[in-house]
Amino acid sequence: MAGAIKVEHVPVMKNEIGLGLEIVKNGIYLDCTIGEGGHALHLLQSKNSPKQVLGIDLDKFILKTTKERLENYKDKVCLSHGNFANLKTIIGKMGYEKVNGVLFDLGLSSFQIEKPDRGFSFSKTEKLDMRFNTNQIIDAEKIVNNYPESNLREIILKFGEEPRANKIAKSIVQNRPIKDTYTLSKIIIKAIGKQNNRKGIHPATKSFQAIRIEVNKEFQNIQEGLNQAMDVLEKSGRLAVISYHSLEDRIVKNILRNASKQCVCPDQIPECICEHKASMKVISNKIIKPTESEIKENPRSRSAKLRLAEKL
């Protein structure tokens, strides 16, 4: 029964999502990262409870929890194990072409961090994995042990914004084979020192983030997913995206900004030749952040940034 299952993940900014999506009664809503169903449940329990919530997640294990958690709404919920980069095809198979709202809650679920053996956490000794989709062949162990040093350096610099990527990549290559998360974190600490930076984050945080992004091709998926999401939205339908680090947010901001422009010609071109038309309206140029009290109750929400846009 829904009451008996153990749910790990607390949905971030659920009230802001409920308001931001401007739920219409009998609407169809697509949750591209349904995770443990926290946001979906909030939408289903809202005054204007949707007619259908379509949920996608790359993690087939998490979907078991989602199914149980949303059991009371089973007639209104349709779940699919898949990648939101293929969302058009996925909702097509569910029998839908258009939806009234789309949500992306990017990043990791607490389910993935807390469950042993997923290899996302450097504070435990786990096999180097980091895959959202466990059917995928490439995992963190393959990347850490097989990528050339120059590739590792580039990934850690670009996806982790880690200025000491050079030292870290060199040390990884010198210490191969590396089999578990704890050993990798020790190698990183040895390469760059134990000293925390200004924000007090663990020295391995940025490198782990970078490897995870590479394992799951996260940035390609976000770009493709957002473009498809804007296509499947009905007129006046809302798009809500929560991101958890600046690189992710920059991708979201640029895609939405571009979609809201009437012209995307380079500045030096005197007359418009692009024939681009605005398809979205950005709801607020200011990012929406969790309140102090939410951060206090759920510290994992502290880095969340919400952006909203509406289909024209």
- The residues binding ligand SAM (CB under 6 A) are 9, 11, 32-33, 35-39, 56-59, 62, 83-85, 105, 107-109, 132, 221
**Closest to ligand SAM by CB, 39 or 311:** 39
Q: Which residues pair with 174 in a beta bridge?
A: none
Q: How far is the CB of 20 from ligand SAM (least distance, A)?
A: 14
What the block records as the tokens of 308 is 């909203």
**Closest to ligand SAM by CB, 172 or 247:** 247
**Closest to ligand SAM by CB, 84 or 208:** 84
The DSSP result for 15-51, as a single string, is HHHHHHTTPPTT-EEEETT-TTSHHHHHHHHSTT--S
Among candidates 205, 209, 251, 250, which has minimal Cα distance to 226?
A: 251
Q: Which residues pair with 30 in a beta bridge?
A: 54, 102
**Closest to ligand SAM by CB, 171 or 216:** 216
Question: Cis (ω within 30 of 0) for the bond into 177?
Answer: yes
Among candidates 151, 193, 195, which has minimal Cα distance to 169?
A: 151
Q: How far is the CB of 283 from ligand SAM (least distance, A)?
A: 20
Q: How far is the CB of 173 from ligand SAM (least distance, A)?
A: 28
Q: How far is the CB of 232 from ligand SAM (least distance, A)?
A: 15
Q: Give 13's contacts (C-beta < 8 A, 6+ positions apart).
A: 242, 288, 290, 294, 301, 304, 306
From residue 17, how far is each of 104, 125, 142, 280, 288 by CA, in Å? 10, 35, 37, 18, 10
Q: How far is the CB of 195 from ligand SAM (least distance, A)?
A: 30
Please give the distance of CA 46 from its chain centroid, rounded to a whole number: 24
Cα gap 229→105, rounded to integer Å:
13
**Closest to ligand SAM by CB, 41 or 191:** 41
Q: How far is the CB of 1 from ligand SAM (least distance, A)?
A: 18
Q: Give the torsion sign (CA, 46, 306, 252, 82).
A: negative
Name the phi and psi angles at 17, rounded to 5: -70, -45
Q: DSSP letter at 137?
A: S
**Closest to ligand SAM by CB, 182 or 219:** 219
**Closest to ligand SAM by CB, 27 or 37:** 37
Q: How far is the CB of 114 from ligand SAM (least distance, A)?
A: 12
